[in-house]
Amino acid sequence: MAEGDRSIELRGTLADEEAALRKGKAGSLIAVSVLGLAMLGGLFYLMGGEDQARVYGDLGKQINGLKQSSFDQFWSCVLQGEDLRDVTSNTELVARLDEMGRDGGRKFGENLREACKPRLEPIGPALDTLIVPDDLKAAVKAMSDAASSLRTSTSGLIIYLDNPELDYDQEIARPHVQAMSRAWYDFKKAHNDANHLIKQQMEQ
């Protein structure tokens, strides 16, 4: 082989090796970059999980605190200190409200208006201004709607009882009493649904 040919072959070999070396380095850099992104993504995932648990935990505290301070206090006032855990169904609550309306009459209505109903007022505004994730919006809205229905039905019963010559008629009072009982059930169900979703998210 002529010297010129050997020179051309040598240059070609060196060029091929250099290209291969650059290709190998590029491949290594890509691999390192992919690994780095994967590690960074994992870190963000872990941080996101911690943030998610904190967000849902805070929401749970607010929702449960609102129920205890307003909804439960309202019913404690209505039932005059009776243990709420003793009321397990709409039917029981309807019977209890009928009994209190019949025995307490106008005085019971005054207690509802002056002492009990104001305890419901914070629920709607607090829930309506609460910033919640999409998966909780339906449950929180259901709680707010139930609280609104409870205020309306309580007002209806107060109006009926506000009569100096009241002769309590169970059939006339029944729509208000049943609506109050239904709102009690709806609020409790929505609250339980919200807590279930919160627990699921915090356990992920």
Q: Which residue has the tokens 């010129």?
A: 4
Q: Is residue 31 part of a domain?
A: no
How much is the pTM?
0.74
- Is the predicted pLDDT of residue 22 greater than 80, yes or no? no
CA distances from 20 to 32, 67, 109, 117 (A): 18, 69, 91, 81
pLDDT category at 87 given cuts 50, 70, 90 is confident
For the chain, percent of residues with pLDDT exceeding 90: 61
Q: Which residue has the higher pLDDT, 47 or 91?
A: 91
pLDDT category at 204 given cuts 50, 70, 90 is confident
Mean pLDDT value of segment 155-176: 94
Mean pLDDT value of segment 159-177: 94
Q: Give the pLDDT confidence score for residue 14 in this predicted structure.
A: 44
Q: Give the pLDDT confidence score for residue 169 in this predicted structure.
A: 94
Question: Half-sphere exposure of residue 57, counting CA atoms within 13 Å on the CB side?
Answer: 9
Mean pLDDT value of segment 8-37: 43
Domain count, the chain: 1
Mean pLDDT value of segment 11-40: 43
- Is the predicted pLDDT of residue 160 greater than 90, yes or no? yes
Q: Is residue 159 part of a domain?
A: yes
Q: Is residue 67 part of a domain?
A: yes
Q: Is residue 198 part of a domain?
A: yes
Residue type at 94 in one-letter notation:
V
In which domain, by residue range, is 95 found? 51-203
pLDDT category at 96 given cuts 50, 70, 90 is very high
Q: Give the pLDDT confidence score for residue 190 in this predicted structure.
A: 97
Q: Is residue 173 part of a domain?
A: yes
Q: Give the pLDDT confidence score for residue 49 in this predicted structure.
A: 52
CB 142 within 8 A of CB 204: no
Q: Is residue 40 part of a domain?
A: no
> How far apart, in whole angstroms, are the C-alpha atoms of residue 38 and residue 177?
59
Q: Which residue has the higher pLDDT, 8 or 102?
A: 102
| pLDDT tens digits, one per residue of 98-122 | 999 999 999 999 999 999 999 999 9
CATH number of domain containing 122: 1.20.120
Q: Give the pLDDT confidence score for residue 178 in this predicted structure.
A: 97
- Is the predicted pLDDT of residue 18 greater than 60, yes or no? no
Residue type at 195 in one-letter notation:
N
